[in-house]
Structure 1
Amino acid sequence: MGTSVPVPGQHLPGSGGGVDPADVHSRVDALLDRLDSVGAEGVGADSGDPEALARQAQILERAHDVLVESLAAVDKV
Structure 2
Amino acid sequence: MSTSIPRPGQHLPGSPPRIEPDRIHVEVDGLLTRARDAASAGDAQDPAVAISRQAQLLEQAHDVLVQALATVDKV
TM-score (norm 1): 0.69
What residue ranges of structure 1 are gaps of 5+ in the alignment? Answer: 1-6, 11-15
Shift of 1:55: 0.3
**Superimposed CA distance per residue, residues 5-49 of structure 1 (whole angstroms, 9 cap, x where no aligned partner):** xx5xx9xxxxx62211111100000001101111121x17xxx81
Give the aligned length.
60
Which residue is 1:40 aligned to? 40
The correspondence of residues 1-77 of structure 1 with structure 2, limited to 5 A, is: 17-41=17-41, 43=42, 49-77=47-75
What residue ranges of structure 2 are gaps of 5+ in the alignment? Answer: 1-8
Structure 1 residue ranges (4+ consecutive) displaced by more than 3 angstroms after TM superposition: none
Shift of 1:75: 0.4
Larger Rg: 2
Shift of 1:50: 1.1
CA distance in 2 between partners of 1:18 and 1:69 (Å): 12
Identity among equivalent positions (%) equals: 43
Structure ranking higher in helix proportion: 2
